[in-house]
Structure 1
């Protein structure tokens, strides 16, 4: 597969994965504030569906990124920094899954304010990754 096609696929799946990483914690904000059982059930259903949808998108984003790296021999400190941030995003994704299980079990112990802060982490990582990839500062 050509470099432009691989790169386009990687970018598309990264965008789709990030949409989930941005929105799922926002659903958690609403879950933490939900006042009725019906509202909780609706938000839990939405959260479960989103998590199941975004997981393969993240796997494809990572897979196409690794394919690019191996096939075209990217190197440099910027790449190591990016891979570290991607590993953190994978951990964040897994943490979102654990939080979802806690909500489903009725064991949430965090406030909506905590989830509002938690929701900002992927935004900060995205900025760092984009600047590393575009600028390749080291």
Structure 2
């Protein structure tokens, strides 16, 4: 069971890298696209980070569900799963932004993308508080 926890934590770390990095990378991609007028290396890197962290997100969710099952799904696990579902929705929205950016469509401002990025940080903090303190 400890190996499942290790795998879960490693996958979560990788997924969080994508969750935190991709919205910020879209800002730089947007600037690069405005400068070059075409798809450049920043876009390629952003897509690669998103794809890599997507696989890790799936592993994190599957191992998290397994751990929740092993522990009998106490209320704190359900609460954590709710926040994780919100983070997954955020990640899906990020994927939509990446697909649009791939077509050269950048409609969100830098400020909007920065705020969007910080929302995920609040979600990650909420998950940490729930897991460490198990308030329910």
Q: TM-score, normalised by structure 1?
A: 0.90
> Superposed, which structure 2 residues align to 1:28-43 within 5 Å?
28-34=26-32, 35-37=34-36, 40-43=39-42
Assess if the C-alpha contact under 8 Å between 1:29 and 1:113 holds in 2: no
* Equivalent residue number for residue 45 of structure 2: 46
> Superposed, which structure 2 residues align to 1:78-93 within 5 Å?
78-93=76-91
Q: TM-score, normalised by structure 2?
A: 0.92
Assess if the C-alpha contact under 8 Å between 2:80 and 2:127 holds in 1: yes
Offset at residue 38 of structure 1 (A): 6.8
CA distance in 2: counterparts of 1:38 and 1:93, whole angstroms: 27
Would you identify which runs of 4 or more consecutive aligned residues in structure 1 move more than 3 Å? none
Structure 1 stretch displaced more, 37-46 or 98-107: 37-46
The alignment yields a C-alpha RMSD, in angstroms, of: 1.5
Secondary structure of 1:45 counterpart: helix
* Equivalent residue number for residue 64 of structure 2: 65
CA distance in 1: counterparts of 2:127 and 2:10, whole angstroms: 15
1:17-36 deviation per Cα after TM superposition (whole angstroms, max 9, x unaligned): 10111111110121233332
CA distance in 1: counterparts of 2:7 and 2:71, whole angstroms: 15
How many corresponding residue pairs?
135
* Equivalent residue number for residue 6 of structure 1: 4
